[in-house]
Amino acid sequence: MPRAPRTPQATPTALQQPELGLATDPRRAELEALAAQIRYHEARYREGRPEIPDGAFDDLVDRYRELADALGLEPDERVDALPGSDHTEGFETVEHVVPMLSLDKIAPGPGKESMRAQLANWYARRCADAGRPSLALVVEPKVDGVSLSVLYEGGRLARAVTRGDGRRGDDVTRQVRAAAVLPERLEGVDRGLLEVRGEVYWPTASFERHNAILVARGLEPLANPRNGAAGMLKRKDPRELEGVGLAAFAYGVARARGVELPSTQWELLQWLAEHGLPVYVELAARARDADEAAAMCERWLARRGELPFEIDGLVVKIDALDVWDRLGSTGHHPHWGIAWKFPPERRATRLRAIVVQVGKSGKLTPVAELDPVALAGTTVSRASLHNFVELRRKDVRVGDTVLVEKAGEIIPQVVGVLRESRPPDAVPYEPPNRCPSCGSSLLQEEIFTFCPNPACPAQIRERLVHFASRKAMDIEGMGEALVDQLVGKLGIVSPAEIFDLDVPRLAQLDRMGERSARKLVAAIAAARDRGLARVLYALSIRHVGEAMAADLARHFGTARALLDFAARYVAGDPAAIAHVAPERGTGAIPGLARKTADSIFAELDSPPVRALLAALAERGVRLDESVVPIRAVEGVAGRTFVLTGTLPSMRREQAAARIRAAGGKVASSVSRRTDFVVAGADAGSKLETARALGIPVIDEARLLEMLGGPDDVSGAVR
Ligand code: IVH
């Protein structure tokens, strides 16, 4: 369910460091605010908890692009330039020789031109740029999966890499092999090199089969086929991909050496198919111009449900490959193609009941129980109604036929009511005035309703689920079904009690043999060592998400220091308040505003949180952060560095971590306050700015020298 909205936090460095006159441009401030929102919503999306529909997110990105283009931002300074990295620990990072970009898109929406007109505009610009009166096009399905780059050497599959951040991805060769989605050998190619681009996806039927198996085992089903496929590709044990029914298709070639390729996209698709690669040749079509392509796309919209896999639109590409080179690309997308996005899928279904869920921080969310309906690849039987204000505004009633849509294609939501189908006896919904779980009187905060009782059983359950979840304490095997048993059968109420569980107690539970109980006890023991950031995130403190938890842990280092500070802050100590929430500028925790600080430190200082932290400490849970202690290195400490370009041996984040560990600061843009610019290969405008301002430019070798030698700490840096 969506969480209480948090105020997206702006990037402090960018706001702090006025940059060459741009800071005086009000568009710059809007750009930074948009960037913060985009990052925030991307993070929620990646967590599988989008808070806004896809369309609203796209609008943010569109506005951001417009401004970023107008301000002439360099590709590496843009949040939209690179897709969020999908890097997973334990996977080897591989540099893409040819970056994996995204496609620009056209989408329907209020206030926008018709899709036909948008495509016609795009087409007219491309014809003008190519200097041609017309350009033949190819229309292909846009399968909703995970993009993949696959290298064939001498006709043999050599490597498969995820998109990652577009420049570097994760090596998933073993996983792709185990999934058996691509041929090991290309037919009729035994020399040269070919880098094929394509999409791995989960066809609807095999995805639903997999989910049915998960449910039968008492596990949570996967949210949707796309995220499911992405998760599968990152399984450490490739055997888990065998037989789950993933599929792939190839749509292009990024690089070829010693292999003769056709000169049009249409022929290339046939060529790929002829050499044994999976290509949906019969679903692609050629169009003479934009009008014909638009007609094809419109026909597809009506037929999308007929396909055995999900498509979220079509891709319209210029057929002539020599024109591709001529048209080039931005840092984000090529000019030779465009995605024609479908409107989000909607279905009408009957609303059986409205139930109220109580979240981990006590927020009440009304949820619609529906007659099951197939929607964008999954069967939907529940949908969020967000809050009671929204519910009243839409006047949703039990018995109504409602329209459901997926926000971010993950969480289904009720978007409207078909009034004409309302049964005559349907009555307006009355929101509860007591918590459905514990009966407490409710509190109203803006549009949200809260149960204020921290001992509320529903909250206890949700907090325990969150505490054990992957991004919090990551206790493997402790999902919702098990937590229900811990609460219902063993009477667990506090996360601290989890650490008292032993094999005999756990073995009393359903579906829990002694072996599983032992495994669980080992997983609980391992969770003791997650460190302060994870613990803080796990505590379900309002406004303390993953990033804030990490910032607090990094800044205070230990729970003791943090709690001492919280006590001073709550007591109104002016120095403490000025430390994190100064009247002007940014405090010690970037992005922490006064109102949020008030709420966070008050909750940290509250008796229940203090008691819980003490109980965790007693049970051996580590409450400090194993960051490298700052060991001031002369020449680095107190100096500000800006990193740019690709460094030969370190990722930029690694270099930044080492600079910080030596007491230095790392800024994102060059200004007169920058002491050194560390430049690697392909450094762009930052290097030029540094030269213009006369700021010393150093290379990685010099930086390492200043830091006192090669990396001896990066492994410990989080
Ligand atoms: S061409 C520059 N063709 O859609 C990228 N992409 O942003 C060129 N996709 O994740 C991609 N079906 O993996 C192309 N027939 C198709 C596609 C397709 C799905 C994905 C692609 C990327 C996204 C576009």
Positions of the chain with pLDDT lower than 50, given as ranges: 1-23, 48, 81-83, 409, 711-718
Q: Which atom number of ligand 1 is nearest to the Cα of residue 329?
A: 2
Residue from 54, 142, 317, 327 to probe ligand 1 pocket by mutation (most atoms less than 8 Å from CB): 142
Residue 62: CB partners within 8 Å, gap ≥ 6?
none
Catalytic annotation present for 142: yes
As a whole number of angstroms, the distance between CA 666 and CA 684 comes to 17
Q: How many CB atoms lie within 10 A of CB 265?
A: 26
- Same CATH topology for 104-341 and 640-707? no
Q: pLDDT tens-digit profile of 648-670?
A: 887 776 787 788 778 888 777 78
| pLDDT score of 45 | 57
> Cβ(655)–Cβ(647) under 8 Å?
yes
| Domain chopping of the chain, boundaries | 17-78+345-445, 104-341, 457-527, 532-618, 640-707
The CATH superfamily of 457-527 is: 5' to 3' exonuclease, C-terminal subdomain (1.10.150.20)
Nearest-CA residue for ligand 1 atom 16 is: 142
Of residues 309, 342, 164, the one with CA closest to residue 225: 309
Spell out the CATH class of 640-707: alpha beta
As a whole number of angstroms, the distance between CA 105 and CA 337 comes to 9
Nearest-CA residue for ligand 1 atom 21 is: 147
CB of 54 closer than 6 angstroms to any ligand 1 atom? no
Give kind and range of the element (H or E) at residue 587: none
Block residue for tokens 């000025």: 578
- 3-state SS track over 119-187: HHHHHHHHHHHHCCCCCCEEEEEEECCEEEEEEEECCEEEEEEECCCCCEEEECHHHHHHHCCCCCECC
Residue from 138, 143, 251 to probe ligand 1 pocket by mutation (most atoms less than 8 Å from CB): 251
Catalytic residue, chosen from 142, 363, 665, 686, is 142
Interior CA angle at 544 toward 541 and 548, to 5°?
A: 155
Give kind and range of the element (H or E) at residue 613: helix 607-618
Nearest-CA residue for ligand 1 atom 19 is: 142
Q: Which atom number of ligand 1 is nearest to the Cα of residue 252?
A: 1
CA of residue 531 to ligand 1 center, whole Å: 39
Q: DSSP for 643-678? A: EESB-SSS-HHHHHHHHHHTT-EEESS--TT--EEE
Distances (CA, A) of 262 to 154, 259, 322: 19, 10, 11
* Tokens linked to 405: 């849509």
Spell out the CATH class of 532-618: mainly alpha
Helices 652-661 and 700-707, axial angle in degrees (round to 10): 30
CATH topology of domain 17-78+345-445: OB fold (Dihydrolipoamide Acetyltransferase, E2P) (2.40.50)
CB of 337 closer than 6 angstroms to any ligand 1 atom? yes
> Cβ(247)–Cβ(228) under 8 Å?
no
CB of 147 closer than 6 angstroms to any ligand 1 atom? yes
CB of 102 closer than 6 angstroms to any ligand 1 atom? yes
Distances (CA, A) of 343 to 312, 314, 410: 8, 12, 15
As a whole number of angstroms, the distance between CA 296 and CA 310 comes to 17
CB burial class (10 A; 0-12, 13-18, 19+) of residue 98? exposed
> Cβ(351)–Cβ(400) under 8 Å?
yes
Nearest-CA residue for ligand 1 atom 17 is: 142
The strand pairing partners of 373, in sequence order, are 380
Q: Which atom number of ligand 1 is nearest to the Cα of residue 141?
A: 15
Ramachandran bin of 34, using left for φ above 0, alpha for ψ from -120 to 50, beta for the remaining angles: alpha
> Cβ(140)–Cβ(201) under 8 Å?
no
CA of residue 83 to ligand 1 center, whole Å: 13
CB of 50 closer than 6 angstroms to any ligand 1 atom? no
Ramachandran bin of 111, using left for φ above 0, alpha for ψ from -120 to 50, beta for the remaining angles: left
Q: How many CB atoms lie within 10 A of CB 555?
A: 18
Residue 106 phi, psi dihedral angles, 5° rounding: -120, 140
Q: Which atom number of ligand 1 is nearest to the Cα of residue 334?
A: 2
CB of 143 closer than 6 angstroms to any ligand 1 atom? yes
CB of 334 closer than 6 angstroms to any ligand 1 atom? yes
Q: Which atom number of ligand 1 is nearest to the Cα of residue 339?
A: 24
CA 536 to chain centre: 21
**Side chain identity at residue 528, one-letter code:** R
Of residues 139, 58, 199, the one with CA closest to residue 339: 139
Rg (alpha carbons) of the chain, rounded to whole number:
27
Q: In a 3-state reduction of DSSP, which class is residue 605?
A: coil
CB of 101 closer than 6 angstroms to any ligand 1 atom? yes
CATH number of 104-341: 3.30.470.30
**Side chain identity at residue 96, one-letter code:** H
Q: pLDDT tens-digit profile of 474-507?
A: 998 899 889 999 999 999 999 999 999 999 999 9
CA 263 to chain centre: 37
Nearest-CA residue for ligand 1 atom 12 is: 142
CA of residue 334 to ligand 1 center, whole Å: 11
Q: DSSP for 44-93? A: HHHTT--SS-HHHHHHHHHHHHHHHHHHT--GGG-TTSSPPP---TTSPE
